Structure 1
């Protein structure tokens, strides 16, 4: 029997679509959502919070929720990894056995309750297993468990698309590295849904610009200026005075979109007309979707 190609494996993952065919971007988003749902259930069972937008009863209609959770952990990783062989792991530098090796680590982590105490688990696995974790997250340096925070350690045992902002500082730490992502694990369901609708079909490079713009408050709020208004320094993650304005109860995503549209109008005559039109269309669409989904 001939082996399935990567493309054929991905095709098997996608349920029959009678009226439409899923694009690669839609497939990747579906797999992202699925792995977020499954690992949010894992984290909930460990007394932790997963994705605020997760639906642990649905698993994105991809993984059979009647199966035991330990089976769904491996299945969700396998499906996500197969899809990402056309994305994150498309490089020839990705080890051929990465999917199997990291999948085995995830299975072991679940079976041994690692999501309650991730640092102890990582301290007890073999060098080969640590290497699989390193490869799965594209870490440049070998993992030194004693240097990890709780969040950094926990996220090493979660597929990249499902990693969580454990301390709600607006950054997602994996190993010793920090990343910005939007939506992240703290983003309300209605906001995440509006974002998905507003960016559907958008080229990834363009979407990443808007993702960064959504997270700018985390960066700018931690810039410190002296009495003369000159930049002094930036607070670092972990500093006692590091702030995340997006975690405030009264934070309004609708207001953010309006601020961006006001900014565009103010600088309209100084901008490239095409850039103005494209950005205005995006922020107005996102605002409309936010309102449609009941977001503040």
Structure 2
């Protein structure tokens, strides 16, 4: 459950100065330097407001549109339909949004994105994943772990009381999960369910990940 203090902390994070990462993301979204500065001013303006929706309501239409652009949203922001997490993440810098309710999704405005590595994953696993995926395109990274939340919730929508986040427990065993995936890849290849090229690509990544986790 997300508490008001969590939302407050999230709302006030990363507003002293936008990181190079955030600025680069906004420039990729075709925002001008003036709009980037306006977005930073918005974050500073609302940082003492503990209610993200109230903070959004305090903004002008033009300011709301800058927030929309900063997060690459296609549709205008409709504050009344936002969840607390969706509202709070609009008031975080791009690249620094959070899965506040630990459901395996990061809600930004009305949109949901898979969060991987998960917010609560050990720092050691996050570092290992970054090392293993360094230099790879999104097409070259196996998706077994990335889409585990979606596969665990086929037929359910976010917010469903039966929604499951496989990574919710802080004691989740990432090493065991990688080992089980590698066994599955071996099985699929040995039973002609996977091409040799795909087998090599998957095993190369997971071997590198395993080494980085040691």
Out of 180, 192, 196, the residue aligned to residue 273 of structure 1 is 196
3-state SS of 2:15 partner: helix
- Cα distance in 2, alignment partners of residues 107 and 47 from structure 1: 13
- Work out whether residues 128 and 212 of structure 2, in 8 Å CA contact, stay in contact via their aligned partners in 1: yes
Give the alignment's Cα RMSD to 1 decimal.
2.5
- Cα distance in 2, alignment partners of residues 75 and 159 from structure 1: 9
C-alpha displacement of 1:90 = 3.1
Tell whether 2:77 aligns with 1:140: no
Identify the residue that residue 21 of structure 2 maps to in structure 1: 80
- Work out whether residues 122 and 145 of structure 1, in 8 Å CA contact, stay in contact via their aligned partners in 2: yes
Out of 175, 180, 192, the residue aligned to residue 254 of structure 1 is 175
- Cα distance in 2, alignment partners of residues 160 and 47 from structure 1: 16
Tell whether 2:206 aligns with 1:264: no
Identify the residue that residue 102 of structure 2 maps to in structure 1: 168
Describe how 1:98-113 pairs up with structure 2 within 5 A: 98-110=35-47, 113=48
Higher relative contact order (CA 8 A, sep 6+): 2
Normalised TM-score (structure 1)? 0.63
C-alpha displacement of 1:218 = 1.3
What is the CA deviation profile of residues 50-89 of structure 1, one whole-angstrom value per residue up to 9, with x for unaligned ones? 9xxxxxxxxxxxxxxxxxx99x734234x2244336xxx4
- What is the aligned residue count? 207
Normalised TM-score (structure 2)? 0.85
- Cα distance in 2, alignment partners of residues 99 and 83 from structure 1: 10
Structure 1 portions without partners, runs of 5+: 1-42, 51-68, 224-233
C-alpha displacement of 1:187 = 2.2
Identify the residue that residue 217 of structure 1 maps to in structure 2: 148
